[in-house]
């Protein structure tokens, strides 16, 4: 994952309560394109650039509960983001939130979020 759900960022506490206790936060990367939005948070789109982030393990049996809460926070039901399964550079399968809308007014991000 990238952006506000990463440790130390504004939405980490929402995700953190769903993370398997004692599991590592693993730095990894995916292919895509990262944008800075006019609203102060990043947005991921399809692309061929390297987007760095982290992967966390969700609690056993709590994945559906975690996604239910995170999808609301990320606006999935309102078309703000889509949750998409991806394979990371190290071969891990994980979920990310992808921006499916126009990128008018967005600026490319060339640094790690």
72-81 pLDDT tens trace: 999 999 999 9
Closest by Cα among 75, 64, 78, 68 to 97: 75
Q: Is the pLDDT of residue 68 over 90?
A: yes
Q: What is the mean pLDDT of residues 4-29?
A: 93
**pLDDT averaged over every residue in the chain:** 93
| Tens digit of each residue's pLDDT (9 = 90 or more) over 101-113 | 999 999 999 866 5
Cα atoms in the 13 Å half-sphere on the side-chain side of 33: 12
C-alpha–C-alpha distance, residues 99 and 91, integer Å:
23
| Tens digit of each residue's pLDDT (9 = 90 or more) over 79-89 | 999 999 999 99
Q: Which CATH architecture has domain 3-108?
A: Roll (3.10)
pLDDT at 112 (0 to 100)? 63
| Tens digit of each residue's pLDDT (9 = 90 or more) over 17-50 | 999 999 999 999 999 999 999 998 999 999 999 9
C-alpha–C-alpha distance, residues 68 and 45, integer Å:
22
Q: Is the dihedral of CA 1, 48, 36, 111 positive or negative?
A: positive
pLDDT at 106 (0 to 100)? 97
pLDDT at 3 (0 to 100)? 84
Could you say which DSSP state residue 18 is in?
T
Closest by Cα among 53, 44, 31, 32 to 106: 44
**3-class secondary-structure state, position 35:** strand
């Amino acid at each position: 994952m990238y952006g506000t759900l990463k440790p130390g960022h504004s939405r980490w506490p929402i995700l953190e309560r769903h993370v398997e206790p004692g599991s590592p936060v693993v730095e990894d990367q995916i292919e895509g394109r990262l944008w800075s939005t006019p609203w102060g948070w990043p947005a991921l789109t399809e692309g061929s650039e390297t987007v760095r982030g982290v992967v966390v393990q969700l609690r056993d049996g709590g994945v559906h509960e975690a996604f239910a809460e995170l999808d609301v926070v990320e606006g999935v039901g309102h078309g703000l983001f889509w949750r998409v399964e991806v394979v990371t550079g190290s071969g891990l399968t994980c979920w990310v939130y992808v921006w499916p809308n126009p990128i008018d007014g967005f600026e490319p991000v060339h640094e790690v979020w």
